[in-house]
Amino acid sequence: MSKRKLPIGIIGAGRIGAVHAETLAFRLPEAAPLIIADINRQAAEEVATRCGIPRVTENAEEVLADPEIEAVLICSSTDTHAGLIVAAARAGKQIFCEKPIDHSLEKIDRALAAVARAGVQLQVGFNRRFDPNFARVRKAVESGEIGTPHLLHIISRDPEPPPISYVKVSGGIFLDMTIHDFDMARFLIGSEVEEVFTAAGVRVDPSIGEAGDLDTALVVLRFKNGVIGTIDNCRKAVYGYDQRVEILGSEGAVSTGNCYPNQAVVSTSSAVRRDLPLHFFMDRYAESFARELRAFVKAVREGSPTPVTGMDGRVPVVMGLAARKSHDENRVVRLEEIR
């Protein structure tokens, strides 16, 4: 592998764009962030100053037109992802794109076709695959340590609901929240899902329902290899960010619980207690964000496949659309119905 740093451009200086910029600047010496773009120039300038990025622009096109830039991170709003993937592929750039690629399968397919035609690499930002806890769960399944998996249970609950302004454009709970869990289900079990059934409602905030969304859901998955899975979601868990997984197999079980700011347990005559779980996903998954970018940079520099492909980005969207259809029609939906 060459010791030359990989020249990278960043499109989007919002919350996740800033996190990735800091990772590239301070944790990945093999990468060189050279330019950052955002329609909010002030946001881009603030990130650039903090991370030592030499150039700032309001135009993504300027990033893609720069011959020095070999790879781009697409961290802008979801509605821009597919179009930017197409443009980046045409420009011959290697691509990292935050999830989801789009809410439309037609737009996703156009983006993936452009990537294939250009022969460039694409990695989709499902960072939870790189969390050490979940990676250990996957290893226990993949190695046969717990025998043949039978049951999967994923619990994923946010500490508080997002703003209604976000709910109105997010694509709904299954495409902005559960989509991570759909990807985790495929990743952990190592098999595709054939059908889903959804029971869901509005239990947290009536305004979420008025916006056309749901805030509490249980999705049952049936995998091709026979495993039965459940995903338990809620937009509000008052005690913090709740992220747990358990898999039961023929020879045992593997599970991982919540992460805490410390490991201290206080025991008194009246109670045994500890501090609440980490409250924000940026804290819970800080290490996984760094690991996913390290994997992307490594794949580009080595010319090896990226660990989370474009198809890995497409399938969870299919699952999300199937989950919503199941709720709306109150029936089991096979993924092959979603075209």
Domain count, the chain: 2
Is residue 306 classed as helix, strand or coil in its secondary structure?
coil
Over residues 101-115, the mean pLDDT reads 98
The closest alpha carbon to 338, from 130, 174, 146, 213, belongs to 174
CATH code of the domain covering residue 11? 3.40.50.720
177/269 same-domain check: yes
108/186 same-domain check: no
- Of 120, 148, 179, the residue that ends a domain is 120
30: left (phi over 0), alpha (psi -120 to 50) or beta: alpha
140/94 same-domain check: no
Any domain includes 110: yes
CATH code of the domain covering residue 266? 3.30.360.10
The rounded distance, in Å, linking the Cα atoms of 101 and 317 is 9
107/211 same-domain check: no
Residue 2 pLDDT level (bands cut at 50, 70, 90): low
- Whole-angstrom distance between the N-terminal and C-terminal Cα of the chain? 41
153/243 same-domain check: yes
Which H helix or E strand runs over 216?
strand 216-223
Any domain includes 298: no
Which H helix or E strand runs over 193?
strand 193-201
Any domain includes 296: no
143/255 same-domain check: yes
The rounded distance, in Å, linking the Cα atoms of 95 and 62 is 16
> Does residue 244 have a pLDDT over 70?
yes
The string of pLDDT tens digits covering residues 263-287 is 999 999 999 999 999 998 878 899 9
Over residues 140-160, the mean pLDDT reads 98
DSSP assignment of 78-96 equals HHHHHHHHHHHHHTT-EEE
DSSP assignment of 98-118 equals ESPS-S-HHHHHHHHHHHHHH
Residue 130 pLDDT = 97
Q: Is 117 exposed, middle or buried (0-12, 13-18, 19+ CB in 10 A)?
A: exposed
218/196 same-domain check: yes
322/175 same-domain check: yes
> Does residue 137 have a pLDDT over 70?
yes
Backbone angles phi, psi at 119, to 5 degrees: 70, 30
88/134 same-domain check: no
The rounded distance, in Å, linking the Cα atoms of 191 and 176 is 22
The string of pLDDT tens digits covering residues 166-206 is 999 999 999 999 999 999 999 999 999 999 999 999 999 99
As a dihedral over the C-alpha atoms of residue 97, residue 98, residue 101, residue 102, rounded to 10 degrees, the angle is -140
The string of pLDDT tens digits covering residues 285-319 is 999 999 999 999 999 999 999 999 999 999 999 99
Any domain includes 149: yes
Residue 1 pLDDT = 54
Range of the domain at 12: 6-120
Residue 281 pLDDT = 85
- Mean pLDDT over each residue of the chain, to the nearest integer: 97
76/94 same-domain check: yes
Any domain includes 307: no
pTM equals 0.95
Q: Dig out the tokens for 273 from the structure.
A: 């207690």
> Does residue 3 have a pLDDT over 90?
no
CA 320 to chain centre: 13
Instruction: Name the amino acid, one letter, at 295.
Output: A
Q: Do 163 and 184 form a contact (C-beta atoms < 8 A)? A: no
Any domain includes 182: yes
Any domain includes 111: yes
Q: What is the DSSP letter of 153?
A: E
Instruction: Name the amino acid, one letter, at 212.
Output: G
Is residue 73 classed as helix, strand or coil in its secondary structure?
strand
